[in-house]
Amino acid sequence: MTFHLKKAFKFRTFAAEMISINNLTFLIGSRALYDDANWHIKPGDRAGLIGANGTGKSTLLKIIVGEYAPSSGTVSMSKDLKIGYLNQDLLSYDSHHSILHVAMEAFERQNQLHDEIEELLKKIETDYSEEVLYKLSDKQQEFEALDGYNIEYRANEILAGLGFSTADQLRPLNTFSGGWRMRVMLAKILLQTPDILLLDEPTNHMDLPSIKWLENYLMGFEGAIVIVSHDRYFLDKIVNRTVESRKGKLNVYAGNYSFYVEEKALRGEIQKGEFKNQQAKIKQEERLIERFKAKASKAKMAQSRMKALDKMERVDDVDDDNPTVNFAFKFSKPSGRHVVRIEHATKSYPNVHI
């Protein structure tokens, strides 16, 4: 899905920032999924958007394209920015047209010109007027300028890269499973050559050759990219920025996923040290306050220290991102030797025997 976003956003110069997220807050009921979050996406950025499930990664992409409105804050972007947005909702997209036809819907103007040229060629069989000839010439020149004669080749090439044979490309979209349909929608988005790609779990339904092809394609892509993915190897190959969605904030790391892991550990050590030092200082101040608050001559000083302590900006302790979960189950009687037995099972999809 491609969005041309012009309204409801403040425009910025394309050279400086493509998308600017400022003081973003997004509430679900009383819960703040994002709380005063900030992120600036610049030309050439290839960002991996990561975080635990439920931290709002897919929601953030929907906010960027305008599907969801922020509770407060702004999303600003360059004028006439063309966004290619792949999301999991496209799994249900349906069409009786061939997948080649669906992919080529990306070329809106070229397809329109093609139909107009066909009509004029029919018309010229009976109408030889200069007006018709000039119209035909103008349309053909524009079609050629838009590389219209190569659009089918380009569509063939991308569909083949994503795993579709020549025969597959002529089959209707609705004969494919959801995962394969998602590949078709990705092909359509890539053919639209947007300024920025927002890709939500693009490798979910791909085999290794298709993932490798997509890696190579994205490494040569000239626009900006934002990828939501749990595939750290894929992210390592593609991204030059890693943005972690955590506790309502967006924390930016200037490198790929491996860099993020090392840098986050380093930041954690620094934060842990700052927390430890601050806690020692707080305890020391509390002891002084407790010692002097009962003395009339020192009460003013104790009061002043107490106010300073209350105003102190506290350093948070480092949370464990990998908490352990323990379960204990009690059974009234032991289960049988076989919990489930499957015999002579058959499952198939059209042209695919599982």
Query: What pLDDT was estimated at residue 251?
Result: 93
**In terms of Cα–Cα distance, which of 142, 105, 137, 104 is closest to 121?**
137
Mean pLDDT computed over 299-325: 74
Residue 45 lies in a domain: yes
Instruction: Verify that 85 and 6 share a domain, yes or no.
Output: yes
Instruction: Verify that 195 and 235 share a domain, yes or no.
Output: yes
SS3 state at 239: coil
Q: What angle do CA 85, 86, 89 make, to 5 degrees?
A: 115
Instruction: Verify that 87 and 192 share a domain, yes or no.
Output: yes
Provide the domain count of the chain.
2
Q: What is the DSSP string of 297-309?
A: TTHHHHHHHHHHH
Instruction: Verify that 190 and 274 share a domain, yes or no.
Output: no
Instruction: Verify that 188 and 89 share a domain, yes or no.
Output: yes
Query: What pLDDT was estimated at residue 8?
Result: 38
How many CB atoms are closer than 10 A to CB 154?
A: 18
State how far the Cα of 204 lies from the Cα of 189, in Å rounded to an integer. 16
Instruction: Verify that 9 and 83 share a domain, yes or no.
Output: yes
Residues 343-354 have pLDDT tens digits of 999 888 887 887
Q: How far lies 351's CA from each of 83, 162, 194, 354, in Å?
A: 35, 18, 34, 10
Instruction: Verify that 188 and 299 share a domain, yes or no.
Output: no
Residue 20 lies in a domain: yes
Residue 205 lies in a domain: yes
Residues 94-105 have pLDDT tens digits of 889 999 999 999
Alpha helices, DSSP H only, in the chain? 57-64, 99-104, 108-123, 130-145, 151-161, 178-191, 208-219, 232-238, 257-292, 299-311
- Which residues form the domain of 210? 1-95+184-255
Which domain CATH number covers 91? 3.40.50.300
Instruction: Verify that 212 and 291 share a domain, yes or no.
Output: no
Instruction: Among 228, 255, 282, identify where a domain stops.
Output: 255
State how far the Cα of 174 lies from the Cα of 189, in Å rounded to an integer. 18
Query: What pLDDT was estimated at residue 354?
Result: 79
Instruction: Indicate left, alpha or beta for 100 from its phi (over 0: left) and psi (-120 to 50: alpha).
Output: alpha
Chain mean pLDDT for the chain: 86
Residues 26-82 have pLDDT tens digits of 998 888 999 999 999 999 999 999 998 889 999 999 999 999 999 999 999 988 899
Residue 347 lies in a domain: no
Instruction: Among 255, 278, 303, identify where a domain stops.
Output: 255
**Higher per-residue confidence, 313 vs 170:** 170
Instruction: Verify that 301 and 225 share a domain, yes or no.
Output: no
Instruction: Verify that 207 and 195 share a domain, yes or no.
Output: yes
Instruction: Among 207, 238, 255, identify where a domain stops.
Output: 255
Which range of 237-251, 266-280, 328-342 scores highest in mean pLDDT? It is 237-251
Query: What pLDDT was estimated at residue 323?
Result: 60
3-class DSSP string for 99-126: HHHHHHCCCHHHHHHHHHHHHHHHHCCC
Q: Tell me the torsion sign for CA atoms 162, 92, 221, 241.
A: negative
**In terms of Cα–Cα distance, which of 164, 204, 203 is closest to 351?**
164
Burial of 140 (C-beta count, 10 Å sphere; 0-12/13-18/19+): middle
pLDDT band at residue 10, thresholds of 50, 70 and 90?
very low
Residue 81 lies in a domain: yes
pLDDT higher than threshold 60 for residue 286 = yes
pLDDT band at residue 245, thresholds of 50, 70 and 90?
very high
Least reliable range by pLDDT among 147-156, 182-191, 299-308: 299-308
Q: In this structure, what token pair is assigned to residue 312?
A: 């102190």
pLDDT higher than threshold 60 for residue 9 = no
Residue 137 lies in a domain: no
**In terms of Cα–Cα distance, which of 252, 247, 253, 214 is closest to 233?**
214
Instruction: Verify that 250 and 269 share a domain, yes or no.
Output: no
State how far the Cα of 330 lies from the Cα of 221, in Å rounded to an integer. 55
Mean pLDDT computed over 183-192: 92
Residue 324 lies in a domain: no
Instruction: Verify that 245 and 269 share a domain, yes or no.
Output: no
Query: What pLDDT was estimated at residue 297?
Result: 64
Residue 201 lies in a domain: yes
